[in-house]
Amino acid sequence: MAKPPLSQPLSAPELSDRQFRRMFHYLPIPTVLLGPDKRVLAASQSFLEHYGLGRDEALGHRCYEVFRRGQEPCPPKICRFAAAMEGQPGLSNFHEYMDPLGRWVAEEIHLSRLTDEDGRPLGVIESVRDISEAKLLEISLTETNELLNCLLNSMVGVVVATDLEDRILFVNHNAQEVAGYLPEELVGKSLRGLSPAGEYERLRDILEESKGPVRGLRSKIVKRDGTDLPVLVNLNYIYRNGMPIGILSILRDIRERMEMERHLNSARMQVMQSDKLAVLGRMAAGVAHELNNPLTGITIYGELVRESLPPDHPAQADLKRIVDDADRCRDIVRDLLDYSRQSNTQLEDLDLSLVVGEALALVPQDSLGLHVQVVTDFSPVPLLVQSDRKLLRQVFINLITNAFDAMDGRGRLTVRTYADGEGLRCAEIADTGGGITPEHMDKIFDPFFTTKPPGKGTGLGLSVVYGVLARHEGKISVKETGPQGTTFLVQLPAQAPKTLLEFTTRVHQDDPDSEEIG
């Protein structure tokens, strides 16, 4: 046959009806042709095989009998047949069922109208696409995503994924509880904006230098209310095909941990302090014993010599100085003994407020100063403690004396007693003096540490307070200090302290000499 000239357009070969029918029969995609009454006019071989039907079971039957093996037409809400007959394009139906082998099958059925040469509708062609695998994949992807979300949201800490430009791609729900941000308001924003100035850059530099995961960095983030939150940060790059594409940060709120560390440190300091004081106490007791008798001798003989000389004798002034200094030394010896081993210990039920009041009355008037206002705020109910009256009084005499010294004759002394929420008996001695400097803070309870001029301070006052309270299973702490003043807080248990009971018994039974000392 001669080839048509190249200038003529190529046309599809004319196919006979029979050829069209055969072509339809061999269509690889399961396809049916439905008449206007929804009956199957033709079905491809692939359609019959797909549904496991013989020709007779398909041809002449209505679509719902073939697809769903049902007797009832599909509800109008889901049936697209009428719309397809009207010529609506792009129609499809989703269909799922269990096949005879018990497999779950999902199908998408596309509908399109078939018309005659004049455009009159002849029926609807429905072709079936098995989308089971795609659906299963989609479901498993959704499930994996959900699982991942659950995991990320159940993780302790705020999990943040950013791209390399610091833009937040994902953040878990903990962001709300920890820092007050809703995850959706953070996505797309820069993580830099959540860090105090320079902090984010510091962490990035560390990550870049480490070239691997970084754990346990202490940092801060800015919470929604503008306050800083201390956090512990773990960082790592997110890799795809070996190339970093983002950064994963896990931030954990460490407020509780820091609080615990603070308590632990202070407990450690207290243990060290009490060990140190115990050693010094034993030493001090020995020295005090040795000094007490010669000092008594100096005072007595000094007084005797003074009395034997005329009042205007030139040696009078020097002798007075000797007696006064010896007295002062005796005071120090008494402090040392109080600090080290409480002589004359007698436990009794005492009202803490009364003891504090007694101490206040006993502090020498000249140290009260002319311009010091004394404010008392005592508990309206008795605050019973079991203690040795003399020792406890000494605690408050020392604290009140220090408070007056700190104010240098001008200011306000506030003395308060109360029971706290845990039933501890508390007393606060607050002054408006210049406060304790940070470098002195960890030394003030050391024996012989003083910032007072020579002759004024011995550095034993707070050591005595510390030692006495430790034996009472009580505590002394600086509640606050600064240029506005200092508040010391004394806390005592209500019940008899075991340490003191043991000590009292021991003093009375084993140490009869103790009565002479004090």
**Smallest separation (angstroms) from ligand ADP to the CB of 210:** 46
359: Cα separation from own chain's centroid: 43
Nearer residue to ligand ADP within complex by CB, 125 or 436: 436
Report which residue's Cβ sits closest to ligand ADP: 461
Nearer residue to ligand ADP within complex by CB, 221 or 391: 391
What single string gives the DSSP state of each residue in 94-110? EEEEE-TTS-EEEEEEE
Nearer residue to ligand ADP within complex by CB, 171 or 462: 462
Q: Is residue 162 classed as helix, strand or coil in its secondary structure?
A: strand
**Smallest separation (angstroms) from ligand ADP to the CB of 376:** 17
Residue with tokens 């109360």: 418
**Smallest separation (angstroms) from ligand ADP to the CB of 262:** 22
**Smallest separation (angstroms) from ligand ADP to the CB of 395:** 11
Please, which residues bridge with residue 93 across strands? 109
Nearer residue to ligand ADP within complex by CB, 432 or 504: 432
Which token pair is 103?
């497999």
| C-alpha to C-alpha distance for 516 and 518, rounded to whole angstroms | 7
**Smallest separation (angstroms) from ligand ADP to the CB of 245:** 58
Nearer residue to ligand ADP within complex by CB, 216 or 483: 483
| C-alpha to C-alpha distance for 423 and 368, rounded to whole angstroms | 32
| C-alpha to C-alpha distance for 245 and 239, rounded to whole angstroms | 6
List interacting residues with ligand ADP (CB under 6 A). Answer: 398, 402-403, 406, 431, 433, 436, 440, 444, 449-452, 457-463, 486
**Smallest separation (angstroms) from ligand ADP to the CB of 435:** 6
Which is it for strands 410-419 and 371-377: parallel, antiparallel or unpaired? parallel
How many residues can be counted in the chain? Answer: 518
**Smallest separation (angstroms) from ligand ADP to the CB of 353:** 20
**Smallest separation (angstroms) from ligand ADP to the CB of 397:** 10
Interhelix angle for 352-362 vs 389-407, to 10°? 50
| C-alpha to C-alpha distance for 16 and 8, rounded to whole angstroms | 23
Say if CB 190 and CB 166 are below 8 A apart.
yes
Q: By C-alpha distance, which of 192, 261, 259, 187 is closest to 221?
A: 192
Signed CA dihedral, 464, 332, 337, 358: sign only? negative
Residue with tokens 């248990």: 493
DSSP H helices in 377-430: 389-407
| C-alpha to C-alpha distance for 43 and 61, rounded to whole angstroms | 11
Count of other CB atoms within 10 angstroms of residue 498? 9
**Smallest separation (angstroms) from ligand ADP to the CB of 326:** 18
Nearer residue to ligand ADP within complex by CB, 463 or 491: 463
Which token pair is 463?
């050591």
- 274-278's contacts with Cβ under 8 Å and 24+ in sequence apart are 274/466, 274/470, 276/446, 277/339, 277/445, 277/447, 277/463, 277/466, 277/467, 277/470
Which is it for strands 91-98 and 40-43: parallel, antiparallel or unpaired? unpaired
**Smallest separation (angstroms) from ligand ADP to the CB of 419:** 24
Signed CA dihedral, 164, 169, 175, 180: sign only? positive
**Smallest separation (angstroms) from ligand ADP to the CB of 403:** 5
Nearer residue to ligand ADP within complex by CB, 143 or 408: 408
**Smallest separation (angstroms) from ligand ADP to the CB of 377:** 18
Please name the amino acid found at residue 499: T
